[in-house]
Each structure stands twice: as C-alpha cells, then as structure tokens.
Amino acid sequence: MGVSAGWDPGRPAPAEEDVVKCVSCGLCLPHCPTFRLTGRETASPRGRIAAMRAVEEGFVQLDESFATMMDECLACRACEAACPSGVPFGRMIEAARAQVEPTRPAPARGLRRAGLAWVLPRPRLVATAGWALAIARALRLDRLAPAAQRASTPPASIAELRRPIPDTLGTGPVATVLAGCVMDVAFRPVQRATMRVVADAGYTALRTRAGGCCGALAMHYGHPEAARAMARARIPEMEAGEIVVVNGSGCSAHVKTYGELLGDDPVWAERAELVAARARDLIELSPPPRDRGLGDVAVHDACHHLHAQRIEPRAMLRDAGARCVDLGDGGRCCGAAGLYSVLQPALSADLRRQKAEAIAATGAPVVAVANSGCAIQIAAGLREIGSPVRVAHPAELLAPDA
C-alpha cells in the first residue's frame, strides 16, 4: 500500500537508512509542486533530503532555514511515487517535522501544541468548537471576521445542521465508520451519504463518536506523541467492525499506519495492527453498480489517495454511471495539504488557482473530490476564477438522496 507512519519513538528524526537511499538523481524534481512553483533546490525533494542528511551528519543546525524547508513541503508524496530508489519521503518529512518542532519560537510552538496536542485529542472540545463555528456561520456571524479568515465553503443552514446523521444503517457484517473531527458538522451531507454507501456495499454501518480525530494532523505537523494518544483513543471504537471505513484521504492513509505508529507499545501494538489491516478508504468499497446518470465527472485525485495509498475512485464512479474525465495536470496537489493553506498561503494560493483552472478546462459540470480539505480548497479556487463547477464527494454522487 505504500503507507507508513515513519516515526521512531526513540529518535524523532529521519532514519539514516532512509536518508542514504537518495542518490540525488533529480528524477523527482519535475513531480514536486513546490519545486515547479519556485525553481528553488531548497524547495525540492532532493534539497530537503540533502538538508536532512546535513543535519544527520552534524554539518547543519536545526535552525529556522531548515524549518522553512520542511514547512514549505506539502507532504504530498508525489516525489515518493516518482523515485526509482524507493526513498520513503512521506515518513521522512513527518520525522523531520517532529525533529524541528522543539526548535520553533515559543509562541508558534505554544500555538501548535495547543491545537494539535491539546484540542484535537479532546472529542467533546472539538465537537463543541465545530458546532459553535457552524452555528455562527449559519447565522452569518462570520461576516464580522476579516475576509481572509472566513471559511470558503458556503455555510450550512440551521435546518441542515438539525438533520440527523444515522448512528447505524444497513444489515450485514459491521463496518465501523470514522466520524472524524469536524466532518459531522462541516460536511453533514457527506457523512450521511457515506453511511448510505457503506450500507449499500453490504455492511451495517456503525458510526464512531463525533469529534474523535484519528491523529493525522498531529502526525503531519510534528506531534507524534499526540497522534499516538489519538490512535489509542480511536482503536476501541474502530475494532468493533470487520472493516473500518474512512472517507477522507489523509485520515484513511493515517489509520492504515496505526500498526507501525504503535508498534513498540506492548499494550496496543496488536490491536493497532488489526485496525490498520481492516482500514479501508470509502473509495475502495464496491457497492452494487447503479446507473445514476451522472454524465461527465472530473476526477481530482487527492495526494494521500494517489501517492500514499495508490488508490483512486474511478471504478466506483463508473459503476454509478459517470464518464470520468481526468485533469490534465498530472495529479498535482491542490495546495490544501492539511494546514498548508493557512501556514503557507502564497504557495497554496498558486496551487489552488492551477487546480481550479485544470478542473474548469475539463468542461465537466461536477468534480469528484474525496477529501474534505481538498474540497474546501478547490471550491474556493473555482469561485476565485468564476467557475460554476460543483464540488462533490464520491459518496454524495453515489447516494444523492442521503
């Protein structure tokens, strides 16, 4: 599958045996979105690996310029997929970010720790914050915020927020469905459709607790201990199912690493391995074919589907009557990448516009996007260029009446 947690609990730094695999051939460079945008070696996979190596060998300190090189990376793993030497860049960048985290200035470190290691592991806090934000937006209170800080998705109506998502649906073997951190509030139609698709695929869909983050963001941004704590909190709910269904690419890729993430934990290792083996992204399910007359559907491949898991939603969409239209951009990252649009707004905006233009050029009226972060980013990009293309999760296309 090509997914890995990539964190050595004894030493949060890129492993030497990974770093030395890079032979500096440069074949990954044309595939790297940040190198293509900037032309800088320091924004390329080869440059980043050279910096990791220099730190490893003691020639370079863990300083601000090293942190910038790691922060500008999208962790999209396009380089990993292109590398003929098998350099596992995804786990290296996560380890490098864990390595650099203690060296950040105190205010930035405190803010990141508060969000990633304190708020996200607390389901009630996450769910309450999500609801407060959704209600404020439904009441249009977000207009009081500066334009740049407003969310880019249209607010849900109060009626939509009141419409329940079933806790369980269907018959057959149990499939646990990860509710996740903010999906229940921010993407309620996707959650309802997900339950329907899982039930259609022959399972009893059983939803986990709202607000329960899988830990992907914490892992991605240099807080592996918080990610481990969140994995331990999710596993008891997840192991109730014969499979575990996750409807976001970054989250499904991360849950598949639980075995490695907790591999050194004598209490949790076996259970984590079991959950990881049972994890499926929603786009890997095979509900019975049902022609919904979808017509042309542009397909955006999320990086953590295409590069980290090597999976894609076309078979599922074709079974629902879609004529899938590929984007002509080689599957380049849309610039959402976790918190990238917040932390690297300029680079993210360039990628957002390029992605929106590639989607609009297909001429399809709808684009399938199987990840919430990409959906927000792409919807904003399409609005920026004045395109009417609609953004929909594959689950919504398969279960439009959910």
Residues interacting with ligand SF4, by CB under 6 A?
Answer: 22-28, 31-34, 45-46, 48-49, 73-79, 83, 85, 87, 89
Is the CB of residue 307 less than 8 Å from the CB of residue 91? Answer: no
Closest to ligand SF4 by CB, 73 or 285 = 73
Nearest distance in Å: CB 49, ligand SF4: 6
Of 71 and 142, which CB lies nearer to ligand SF4 in the complex structure?
71
Residue 130 or 331: the one with the smaller Cβ distance to ligand SF4 is 331
Quote the least distance from Cβ 77 to ligand SF4, whole Å. 5
Residues pairing with 326 in the sheet: 299
User: Which residues, including other chains, have CB under 8 Å from residue 267's CB and lie 6 or more apart?
Assistant: none
- Walk across the sheet containing 243-246 and list its strands: 168-169, 204-207, 174-177, 243-246, 279-281
Q: Which is nearer to ligand SF4, 31 or 393 (CB)?
A: 31
**DSSP at 153:** S
What interhelical angle do 345-362 and 372-384 show, nearest 10?
Answer: 80
CB-nearer residue toward ligand SF4: 137 or 352: 352
Least gap, CB of 81 to ligand SF4 (angstroms)? 9
Quote the least distance from Cβ 250 to ligand SF4, whole Å. 13
Task: Tell which residue, 196, 357, 225, has the closest CA to residue 285.
Answer: 196
Phi-psi region of 310 (alpha: psi -120 to 50; beta: other; left: phi over 0): left
Beta carbon of residue 333, minimum distance to ligand SF4 (angstroms, whole number): 6
Least Å distance, CB 317 to ligand SF4, is: 26
Q: In angstroms, how far apart are the furthest CA atoms of the chain?
A: 60
Burial 301-333 (b: 16+ CB within 10 A, else e): bbbbbbbbbebbbbebbebbbbebbebebebbb
Residue closer to ligand SF4 by CB (options 79, 197) is 79
